[in-house]
Structure 1
Amino acid sequence: MGYPRKLTRRFRAFDNFAISFTIINIISGIFSSFGFGMGAGGPRVLVFGWIGVSVMVLFVGAAMAEIASAYPTSGALYFSAGKLAKRHRGAWSWYTGWLNFVGQVGGTAATNYAAATFIQAFVAMQWPSYHPDPRHAVGITAVILVLQALANTYTVQLVAIVNRISVWWLLIGLVVIVAALTVIPDQHQSASYVTHFVNNTGFTNGIYGGMLGLLVTSWTFTGFDGSFHMSEETVKATVNAPRGIMRAIACSAFTGLILMLALVYAIRDYAKEAGASAPPVQILVDALGTGTAKLLLLIVIGAMLFCGLANMTSNTRQIFAFSRDGAMPGSRWWHSVSPRTRTPVKAVWLAAACPLVLVLPGWWSHTAFTAVVSVNVVGLFLAYGVPIFLRLRLDDFQPGPWNLGRYGKLVAGIAVTWILISNVLFMLPQASPITATSFNYAPIALGVVLLIATVWWFASARHRFQGPVSYGRPDEVAAMDLI
């Protein structure tokens, strides 16, 4: 790919799968967004929307996997965008890289803030005198970010081991939660309950309300580009990285559907639980009792912490690669690698500091925090869509060992169509009446990011950044290898 090796290949096929599976993290995604789905479509959209969106995400994953096989680098999306563009390669690469960066930072911030919120919920259940406070959530998030940065500072082997543990934590945790919701309650909803439809969004159009409910699954299925970003540290990356993407999505789709069904059929008092501050936690309490609910809540918190760690790992590699090509302020600083651990330590701490900056507005305004992190999904899926769109336009695309053959363009076309539809949904109003607290700030947040990137591009970046850098011929690059 034109770069000297600085990172060691310690990720096996399972490790590569593990990082995307952990970032998607069905337990974290479903528990943090289930309440929104209860008001936007109810069980019908939660269950059947999960199935439909999972299929569409598989198309996105397959199109990305084909590109990952052809360009297995840490730069992943922005690198492949620069290589696939017919013209203006620097601009395509620039915008893709910054969308990817901001989306990943938002994902790390949102996941860890959600973990802090659930930690406070657990503490309040254990000690009723404690009252959750947004400022405490910011402080807890800061502590979590520091601990995750420390874990990422050490060898990639440690990260791989933690990700292996996280996979088993998720799978065993899923079995425990589903088994508890199936066996312990003395009653469940009838089989036809999955067709129950609810529209509490405030909009009178039920179709619109139900379409908003599709966001629950879309929110969950982000971050599977993690396997792509870990390519330079993965053995046989041209095959194992694309397989990691596809396996992570497929396993998450199947296990997530099981968890979704378990929660839906365990609902007791719909109005009460939908109106709770944490609806899935209230479902656990009503169905299983406070004691069992607290134990299961620990599983959920653990899943969120693992998810945040994997998010930071992926973000670190994107920072490292983007800096290697000179696209970030202080690039020489951020793409340096520790000679002892062979990890980009400085990029790790940048990946910890940026989410903390996003979380800080939550100290005084939950709306401001939501406005900033809402760009997470929009930024990521737009970053996914750019190289797929460019591959669609390219007639002489050279696939890697893992490819879709003659179906490549068809799959890419479906993927781009779904990305456009889902991003429009993310930027539409999600509650009525529209007020300062219910307004969807995602378009504004995205607009600010694109405005800054555009001004920066025309002011200076276009003169020095021409896309991914090549350090020379393969034999010259091999002679520069630092490991």
Structure 2
Amino acid sequence: MEKEMDQSATTPPPEVDRGDITPSRSSSVNVAMNEADKRLEAMGYTPVFKREFSTWSSFSFAMSLCGVYASLMSTWVYGLQAGGAAAIMWSWILGGAGSLVLAMSLAELSSAYPSSGAMYTVLKYVAPEGQAPLLCWMSGYITLVGLVAGTASTEYASSQMLLTAVSIASNFSYSPTTLHVFGVMALLTIVHASINSLPTRWLNRLTSGYVIFHMSVLISACVCLLVKTKDKHSIAYAFTNFQPMSGWSPPGFAFLFGCLTPAWTMANADGAARISEEAKNPARVVPKAIASATTFSYAAGLLFNLVLVLCMGDDPSALLRSLSASSKQNSHSVKQPVALLFLRALGPVPAVFFTLAGFAVMNLVAIPGVQAGSRTIFTLARDDLVPLSRILRRVWSRSGAPVAAVWVYAGLVVTVNLLGLVSQTAISAVFNVCAVAFNVSYMLPLVCKMVYGRFERGPWHLGRWSFAANLAAVVWNGFVSVIFFLPTEVPVTGENMNYAIVVFVFVLLFSSSFWYTHGRHYYTGPGTQSKNNAQIAVTPVC
């Protein structure tokens, strides 16, 4: 494969008017960038993006997609409901380890086939030629659903965080309504889409400082909680105290639902791979960013979970009751038990500050989330996989960004969150399908890699541990994907039913039907629509 790529790369690429998107480069960096561009051309794509992301900014980008501090604040409720302290800790240790080994496997694949299509593009090279078009088609739509659901849940959680801070500041005299949450979410999504319409260098600068800000907030929160909490629990309590509240029998089974927290936190593990066409030396930089960011997030999440458990008080269920008791309509704040924990331990002013800090971090999760999602739409469009492809594969010359793809993606996010105005059960089903959709899109190339043996590794790889890591990732994440379809509470009612399976089956039926009615007549796989890839429009901005 490597030899074939090198030979293909010697063929001059088609002439493309790249406007002002060709950056000036030093000679040493220019060589690496030229090699990356040649590799991309060998995969069937014409380079159109500036390569602005360095090793550090790529790592920071990958870290921002995890957003441990804010992600834990938003999803801590799963472990709390699953069994309190012990469920929170062990679900993070086991579920996080499963997510970590998956991320390592994806990093290896990203090194071998670096493109903004990530696993969708990888699948072309590891699946049998006769099956690759159908598998890539299905993977493309499943990936897109996972990305939209993930970004929608991030924007929604960000809105909840902001309004929770306002509610605490008002001593709960203000109660956010569903319409308030949706309105703030829509405004935030517009802001984030506007930022993603800027040149790549601005996104590079924004993400570069993320790690320092995020870690400063995380460490400050941990220190304040440990200093101010008078009656802290012991380490033994954190790992042994199990208080099931889900109603499942046997109760120990319920702890698996706590794995939703690490799965959601590290769900978009290959998100950094989606900036491969905007990163310098992506075959090395991107996999290192994925592996190091996920490892760091796993360790930081374990520390933050431990601090929260030590400081949460004797009655975990009280964290689920108190905010809703403060206001009859405050149904959104109850999803933010960590904010209440801050309130109890630190008082209202610090609680508002750390909740707003979580809001800021969550925004910094959403911005690269929109970028990763829009790059995926751009990739699918240049392969003619989605409707309106001629428009969605356009790159604006002034910003060097696929602006149409950015705003269509933002529109999809807002549309999904419209469900929240109709039913919290419906919107929860879409959010829950995020981790499952990502897992399926990840497992497809990993299974093909192990079964068909067509994989040619890149400069970053797992060596002799590759097969074992891939197998562990597929087995664990396949298992938890089934768990994520189950309702988190019993007895099951219309309100607590998990309809994620309905959403996922709908996606499978839609994408497969669209394949048989349209796709199979013209779609031949990633990078094979040579006319489209050679003629990606670089549209001037008036």
> 1:84–1:391: 8 Å Cα contact kept in structure 2?
yes
Displacement of 1:296 in angstroms is: 0.8
Q: Distance in 1 between matches of 2:306 and 2:97?
A: 17
Q: Which residue of 2 aligns with 1:409?
A: 467
Once the two structures are TM-superposed, the CA of residue 482 in structure 1 deviates from its matched residue by 7.6
Distance 2:63 2:264 in 1: 14
Deviations along 1:430-469, one digit per CA (max 9) or x if unpaired, are 1111011110111111011111111111111111111112
Structure 2 counterpart of 1:456: 514
Larger radius of gyration between Structure 1 and Structure 2 = 2
Aligned-residue offset at 1:381 = 1.2
Match of 1:265 in 2: 310
The answer to whether the 8 Å contact 2:377/2:405 transfers is: yes
Q: Distance in 1 between matches of 2:70 and 2:454?
A: 40
Q: Quote the Cα distance in structure 2 between the aligned partners of 1:17 and 1:96.
A: 26
> For residues 131 and 411 of structure 1, what CA distance do their matches in structure 2 show?
47
Among 106, 112, 123, the residue aligned to 2:149 = 106
Contact 1:76 1:228 (8 Å CA) reproduced: yes
Counterpart residue number, 1:122? 165
Query: Is the 8 Å Cα contact of residues 425 and 498 (structure 2) preserved in structure 1?
Result: no
Q: Does 1:324 align with 2:382?
A: yes
Matches within 5 A, 1:278-427: 278-427=336-485
Alignment partners' CA distance in 2, 1:376 and 1:299:
25
Q: C-alpha distance in 2, partners of 1:290/1:63? A: 43
Contact 1:10–1:235 (CA under 8 A) maintained in structure 2:
yes
Matched letter for residue 178 of structure 1:
C
- Partner residue of 1:467 out of 525, 531, 538: 525
- Does residue 1:81 correspond to 2:123, yes or no? yes
Give yes or no for the alignment of 1:206 onto 2:248. Answer: no
Contact 2:92 2:258 in 1 (8 A): no
Q: Distance in 1 between matches of 2:431 and 2:95?
A: 22
Tell me the amino acid that sits aligned with residue 218 of structure 1: A
TM-score, normalization by structure 2? 0.86
Summarize the alignment of residues 3-22 of structure 1 with structure 2, pairs less than 5 Å apart.
Answer: 3-22=45-64
CA root-mean-square deviation: 1.9
Mapped partners of 1:363, 1:472: distance in 2 = 43
Q: Does 1:185 align with 2:243?
A: no
Report the counterpart of residue 43 of structure 1 in structure 2.
Answer: 85
Moved more, 180-189 or 130-139: 180-189
Paired amino acid for 1:196: N
- Give me the whole-angstrom Cα distance separating, in 2, the residues matched to 1:460 and 1:12: 40
Instruction: Give structure 1 regions of 4+ aligned residues with deviation exceeding 6 angstroms.
Output: 477-483
Comparing 238-247 with 76-85, greater Cα deviation is found at 76-85
Amino acid corresponding to residue 148 of structure 2 in structure 1: V
C-alpha contact 2:381 2:393 (8 A) present in aligned 1: yes
Q: Relative to 1, partners in 2 of residues 1:200 and 1:400: Cα closer, same or farther, differing over 3 Å? A: same
- The residue type paired with residue 192 of structure 1 is A
Q: 1:187 to 1:216 in 2, by over 3 A?
A: same
- Return 191-200 or 388-397, whichever deviates more: 388-397
Structure 1 residue 216: Cα displacement: 2.0
| Matches of 2:234 and 2:275, distance apart in 1 | 45
Aligned-pair CA distance for 1:221: 1.4
1:146 pairs with 2:169:
no
Letter of the 2:208 partner, please give it: R
Distance 1:91 1:457 in 2: 7
State the alpha-carbon separation in 1 of the partners of residues 530 and 502 from structure 2. Answer: 41
Quote how far apart the aligned CAs of 1:191 are.
2.6
Q: Contact 1:4/1:482 (CA < 8 Å) preserved in 2?
A: no
Question: AA paired with 1:163?
Answer: T
Q: CA deviation at 1:269?
A: 4.3
Contact 2:429 2:499 in 1 (8 A): yes
Alpha-carbon separation, structure 2, partners of 1:349 and 1:480: 18
2:504 alignment partner AA: L
Q: 1:97 aligns with which of 128, 140, 143?
A: 140
Q: What CA distance in whole angstroms lies between the structure 2 residues aligned with 1:472 and 1:365?
A: 44
Amino acid paired to 2:77:
G
Normalised to the residue count of structure 1, the TM-score between the two structures is: 0.96
Q: State whether residues 5 and 482 of structure 1, in contact with CA within 8 Å, keep that contact through their aligned partners in structure 2.
A: no
**Closer, same or farther: CA 482–5 of 1 in aligned 2, 3 Å:** farther
Sort the Cα spacing of 1:172 and 1:91 in 2 relative to 1 into closer, same or farther, 3 A. Answer: same
Residues 57-68 of structure 1 aligned to structure 2 (within 5 Å)? 57-68=99-110
Residue deviations 1:67-99 (CA, integer Å, cap 9, x gap) = 101100011111111221113111110111111
The offset of 1:45, in angstroms, is 2.0
The one-letter amino acid of 2:439's match is F
What letter matches 2:320 in structure 1?
A
Which residue does the alignment assign to 2:500? 442
Q: Which of the numbers 132, 157, 170 marks the counterpart of 2:201?
A: 157
| 1:377 Cα deviation from its structure 2 partner | 1.1
SS in 2 for 1:374: helix
Q: Contact conserved, 2:79 with 2:91, CA < 8 A, in 1?
A: no
Whether the 8 Å CA contact 2:382–2:536 is kept in 1: the answer is: no
The offset of 1:268, in angstroms, is 1.9
Letter in 2 for 1:224: A
Secondary structure of 1:198's match?
A: coil
Distance in 2 between residues matched to 1:266 and 1:250, nearest whole Å: 25
The Cα of 1:325 is off from its aligned counterpart by 0.6
Query: Quick one: higher RCO (CA 8 Å, sep 6+), 1 or 2?
Result: 1
Task: Check if 1:56 corresponds to 2:102.
Answer: no
CA drift at 1:372: 2.1
Deviation at 1:378, TM superposition (A): 0.9
Contact 2:51–2:280 (Cα < 8 Å) also in 1 = yes
How far off is 1:412 after superposition?
Answer: 1.1
| Distance change (3 Å), C-alpha of 1:479 and 1:92 | closer
| Aligned length, in residue pairs | 480
Structure 2 runs not aligned, ≥5 long: 1-42, 323-333
**Structure-2 separation of matches of 1:118 and 1:58:** 27
Question: What fraction of aligned residue pairs are identical, expressed as a percent?
Answer: 28
Once the two structures are overlaid, the 10-residue window that deviates more, 198-207 or 274-283, is: 274-283
SS in 1 for 2:418: helix
